Structures are given as C-alpha cells and as structure tokens.
Chain A
C-alpha cells in the first residue's frame, strides 16, 4: 500500500512527465526550434510574471519573459507556460512549494519591478529550489532605466543561470555580425551589434563595398574590421559608443583577418603585399609598427591569440590544404596543430584555452568542429554544408557560427558539447561572420 508521501511522489512524477511531453511538443512547433540532441534534458523551471509597483504607468518591460526566453534559449531549461502556474507570487513569502512541486518544476523565479523615480527602476528577484524549498538567490538590481532595463533582465538571467548550472551566464553579452543585402545592382554590407538574443540591433557601419572579419577588443568597447572601401582592403578600429573609427592598416594587397591581443594593445593581422603572399603580422595599435611572424610562400592567415597571449594560432596551406598551426607570439617556428581531415581553417580558441574551434571539412561538408587541446579529440558540432566563422561565448560553453538556410546565411549557436543547437533570429538578408563579445567590464 502506498503511503500518502508515495502517492504525492507518483503524482509528481506523472505530472512532470506530462509537462515535459507538453513542453517538448510545444517546442517543436515554436519558430525558434530548440534542437536538443543526445542525453541533454532541459530542466523544468518556472519564471512567474513579475509584479509592478509603479502607479498607473505600464511596466517598462516584461522582465520575466526576457528571463524566461534567456533560460529557454540556453537549451538547459524548459520554463513552463504561464497557464500551467497554479499561483503567481511576486514575493518569496507567498510561494507555495507544494503547488510548485506538484507542477513539477525544479526551480522558480519570482520578482517585481519597482519604480523609484521618473526614469528609475529596481528589479528585485528571488530564485528558489522547489524540492529543497530553499532560496538560492535573492537580488535587486537598482538604477535601471527604461533604456537599459532589458540589460538588467539579462543580468538577472545570468545570475540565475550561474546559480543553477555553475556556469557563468552570457545573456548580458553581445554579438557582432555582418549582413549583405541585394540593393539595386549592388549589395549593401552592414556591420551590426546586437544583444546575444538577436534583440537590440545597432548598425555600426554600412558600405556598398564588402565588410569582413569583425573582431572585439577585450574590453568590448571597440570592433576591428576589414573594409573594401575604394576597392581595396584596409583595417579599421571603431569605438562603439562614439562611432569614431581610425584606419590601422592600409598596405598594398591584402589587409585582413584582424584579431586583438588579450591586452588589447596589438592586432594580429594578415598582410599580402604587392606580390600577394599572405603572412601573419603583429601590429602595435599605438605605434602602427608591424612585426612579421611568418614568411612562408603559402597562404598564412586567420591569426588569433591564445587567451594567455603566448601563441598565435593561424591557418596555413603550407602542407597542401589549409590546416591550423601555432607560432609563438614573439615569432619562431610554426607547429602544426590539426591533422584530422583535409581542411581545417579559421581557428578560434575558447576563452578558457581548452578548446580550438575551426571550420572542418567533414565528408565534403564544411562544418564547425572543436578540438580538445589536451587529448586532441575532434568533435564536429554543426550539421550544415557551408558552416563557417565559429566564435566562442566568453563562458567557453557555447559557440556561435554562420550556416545556410534556403541560400541565405543565418546564425546558429551550439553548446560546446554539441548537444544543444539552435537558430538565432537576427538581421536581414545574408547574415555571416558572427563574433561573440567578451564579458562586459564594469567599473
């Protein structure tokens, strides 16, 4: 005979299973299809609509739905629908754990937005473990404004995510990318910065000539990029806040593939010269002095710094096809890093220095792969035919890259273990070359 306790447990399990099934079918129909593979099962959670203490005006942002969308998009959480909530508390004191246990969520977020001035708000939230009936986190973000409250919601989501997973959240970070759209006879190229969820797009630069290879400065205040203004490549650094830019390299031939050093003082770039032999150079941004690192007559390009600043990883076809090599940032003899497959290009290191992402030819398809630098295992992470431009999120846990959908470039993210993959809604036209910003730095 079942005890009362056991009955509750059984009911819980049934309810949970039903909810998970409902959620999975709902996800399959949603536009943002979360393509969950393998063993990864999203944890059911509830983000209760936030309360509003601010008089007659409307709440400036539905903070709970931003948090909910962030958690859902991570692929690790399955937030339940509002209609399934048996109660909608906005304060921890009102949470009925038995109800939430019955609904089957493992964690619950409640909170409120409090107006404290004409354009000043406090976002207050609490996170509870519904099984242990325990508060995991209580925080209030003060000094939010109408202009930045979306960022405050992402910050809250980051804190919740980190508390639940142990991994630093990246919801408050940004992504830069390039779009190309047909316009009349020519094309319009645009460099865009948006929040990592695709919202809040800002055009940074626009040109009728191609724009390529955006790269974040380590303080995420500047972007370096290649522009073909005047039918010639040159490299610019642009400050996001002011929009001011300056040209840092305009040599004959190729000026390409910029990437900032970890201290932000240098760029590794590719210069081709009049004779068109692309090699890796280090450019001191202040003095504009360049130092040549490679001299091989093969194509050496796509340099990127290791997070500790000691090495520069780059693509070279000195062995025939493109492979990844590394060279000491001070120069020396390059060492070949990749050996698996005939095509490995565009290396990018995870910020924790443990993984190397690249474009890898997988049986005729160009896909994103990541190599574990310790055991050298290569894991193919994407499933397209023309996937390119991998870039790690600053927590090293997710990558963004470009793939094709009906002929146009679109952006996708994938967890570093390859289990959670999803499309990112962003930009118009052909979207390419996404680069994930570092964590924002606060003074």
Chain B
C-alpha cells in the first residue's frame, strides 16, 4: 500500500510540474533557433521526446472507487485484478479512520440457502482479512452475508451467476 501511495505522489508531482511549466514550453521541437547545439542528430533526438513523461492515474480520494468485487465459482479468493481495488479502499480507510464499511457477501443461487449464507460470509471475510492486513481497523469493518437472497442479476445463466458471486463494499458513514 505504501508503495502505491508513493507512486501516486510521484505521478501527481510529475503532473503538477508538467502543468505549471506548460505555458513557457516551446511547442515546436523543429525550431532550430531555440535549440543551441550544433549536433543536429542529437538535438532532434532530444526534442522528439515529450519532456515531461507521465501516465493516467485515478485519485483514490476524488474519483469513484469501484465497490463490487466478483468471485469465481466456489471460490472466496479475491482475484489478482481486484486486489488493487481492495488496496485502494484500504488506503482510504486507513487515511480516514473514522470511515466505516459494511462488506456484503453474496452467492449465486445454486444449492441450499443457509449454506450459501456461509459462502457469502466467506467472501466478505476474505475482503475483510485483506483490508485488515493493510492496516484497516477491525472496528471499521462489519460483514453481512445475504447468501443468494439479493442477486444483482435475476437470471439463471453462468453470466448471471458470475455477477451474483460478489462482495459489495458500502461506506456506512
């Protein structure tokens, strides 16, 4: 998480520098009068590069964070591609320790209902553990499992089931 934080600060810094220097930058790299060197090849090489670099990023404090994490069939493991999302929630919750979340675990409709409550809880707990490892306080997190009782998608196809196996992160304050 601290790595991600540092990365974000670095990118943010780069962008701020880029913005402030933009008005005075000469946009035309082929303008030879501006360059001061006789080595044409090296000058043109330098000037063809964007002098600032940078990449797109999401601000965890300003942007809308995704709040739904989906799970594979019969699994309560957070997929690698969702671990970053959980990390960003963790960052938000450690930054603002007065924030509380409710993790709502869900299962697809197959099988018996109370057992599915157990499966939904297992998923909510997987996210909870991940948040706690990253420093979120236990008191900030509440879990509830709705099992198969609150499907996101009402159908009975594999893709409906995939949408229903999920944990929803809800900020309660």
Contacts and interface: CB of A to CB of B under 8 A. Distances in A.
B114 A212 contact: yes
A293 interface: no
A322 to B, nearest CB: 5
A238 interface: no
A61 to B, nearest CB: 37
A305 interface: no
A76 B154 CA distance: 38
A315 interface: yes
**Size band of the interface chain B makes with A:** 20 to 34
Contacts of A252: 142
**Size band of the interface chain A makes with B:** 35 or more
Contact of A386 (B102, B142, B143, B156): B156
A249 to B, nearest CB: 14
Given A228-B146, A299-B119, A276 B113 contact: no
B88 interface: no
A254 B145 CA distance: 7
B110 A366 contact: yes
Contact of B121 (A231, A254, A315, A359): A254
A389 interface: yes
Contacts of A361: 111
Interface stretch (A47-55, A267-275, A284-292): A267-275
A419 B56 CA distance: 66
Contact of A322 (B111, B122, B125, B146): B111
A276 B128 contact: yes
A306 interface: no
B117 interface: yes
A388 B108 CA distance: 14
A429 to B, nearest CB: 12
Contacts of B155: 407
A276 B121 contact: yes
Interface of A: 180, 187, 210, 212-213, 228, 231-233, 252-254, 256-257, 270, 272, 274-276, 278, 299, 301-302, 315, 317, 322, 343, 345-346, 359, 361, 366, 386, 388-389, 404, 407, 432-433
Given A228-B146, A272-B118, 14 more contacts: A187-B150, A212-B113, A212-B114, A212-B147, A253-B143, A257-B117, A274-B138, A276-B124, A276-B125, A278-B118, A299-B121, A315-B112, A322-B115, A359-B111
CB-based closest 4 A-B pairs = A299-B118, A210-B149, A346-B112, A276-B125
5 contacts: A212-B113, A256-B114, A276-B125, A346-B115, A407-B156
